[in-house]
Amino acid sequence: MKETIANHAYDYLERIGNLVRMGARRVPPVNGIQPVQLEALHYLSSCNRYSNTPLAVAEYLGLTKGTVSQTLSVLEANGLIEKIPDGKDRRVVRLVLTPTGEALLAEAIPPRVLALAMGELTEQASQEIVAALQGLLQAMQKANQLKSFGVCGTCRHHRLEADGSRWCGLTLEALQPSDAEKICREHTAPDEALDAPP
């Protein structure tokens, strides 16, 4: 029974994924920007300052370093991102969207086909779908021992003080309120901490 449900889930997710990619491809191309390059751009717009490196992009997208290097070169050549040396470690390169990259992404994500479909649903149905997809994603990441790349504010290391200040318990650095809404490659869900060996 579970295998049949998994097959049905795969069928639906595959078809939805194809429709979402089809919608993204309808955005006017910028010098041949491909879906994988758009995915990298979207990730970089959503991640925090600990997670905007070429390695993090490769981990998030599940791609090789070589493929990601080519992807980032195309984005940089088209003026969609810029590479900035890290302020603390000059060997590390930070990737930041340019205004042109932000404008392209705003037009492409979410694809119109998805936005229209979600608009047809009730608020409750939309929230239930998002919650179910989030749960499925977390279960798949856990089953495959992948990094969660979760939102900073849901991490076991995120600290919110009574005065409203925030800081990271892992890096011991202060956080801005906007950091709490961004994806972090160091994210650890509170329940994962309980499963971890002492």
Return the percentage of the chain with pLDDT > 70, whole number: 90
Question: Domain boundary at 113, 137, 172, which?
Answer: 113
- Which residue shows structure tokens 């504010």? 153
Question: Which of 187, 194, 197, 198 has the alpha carbon at shortest distance from 141?
Answer: 187
Looking at the fold, whether 23 and 99 belong to one and the same domain comes out as yes
Task: Give the residue numbers spanning the domain of 94.
Answer: 2-113
Looking at the fold, whether 104 and 130 belong to one and the same domain comes out as no
Q: What is the pLDDT of residue 30?
A: 62
Looking at the fold, whether 20 and 58 belong to one and the same domain comes out as yes
Looking at the fold, whether 40 and 58 belong to one and the same domain comes out as yes
Q: What is the pLDDT of residue 197?
A: 40
Which of 10-14, 44-48, 103-107 tops mean pLDDT?
A: 44-48
Report yes or no: 152 and 187 within 8 Å, Cβ to Cβ.
Answer: yes
- Secondary structure of 50-93 in HEC code, one letter for each residue: CCCCHHHHHHHHCCCHHHHHHHHHHHHHCCCEEEEECCCCCCCE
Looking at the fold, whether 84 and 37 belong to one and the same domain comes out as yes
Looking at the fold, whether 55 and 106 belong to one and the same domain comes out as yes
Question: Which of 117, 123, 125, 150 has the alpha carbon at shortest distance from 135?
Answer: 150
Looking at the fold, whether 99 and 168 belong to one and the same domain comes out as no
Looking at the fold, whether 127 and 57 belong to one and the same domain comes out as no
- Secondary structure of 114-128 in HEC code, one letter for each residue: HHHHHHCCCHHHHHH
> Is-cis flag, bond preceding 110, omega within 30?
yes
CA distance 93 to 85: 5
Looking at the fold, whether 136 and 104 belong to one and the same domain comes out as no
Is pLDDT of 193 > 60? no
- Which residue shows structure tokens 């998994």? 6
Confidence of residue 124 (pLDDT cuts 50, 70, 90): very high
In sequence order, what are the beta bridge partners of 96? 82
Q: How many CB atoms lie within 10 A of CB 107?
A: 12
- Report the pLDDT averaged over residues 176-196: 76
CA distance 187 to 152: 6
**Number of residues in the chain:** 198
Question: Domain boundary at 113, 130, 149, which?
Answer: 113
Confidence of residue 33 (pLDDT cuts 50, 70, 90): confident
Number of domains the chain contains = 2
Q: Which residues contact 64 (CB under 8 A, 6 or more apart)?
A: 58
Looking at the fold, whether 133 and 109 belong to one and the same domain comes out as no
Is pLDDT of 194 > 60? no
Report yes or no: 173 and 158 within 8 Å, Cβ to Cβ.
Answer: no
- Report the pLDDT averaged over residues 140-150: 82
CA distance 45 to 103: 11
CATH number, domain with residue 44 = 1.10.10.10
Q: What is the pLDDT of residue 47?
A: 95
Looking at the fold, whether 146 and 173 belong to one and the same domain comes out as yes
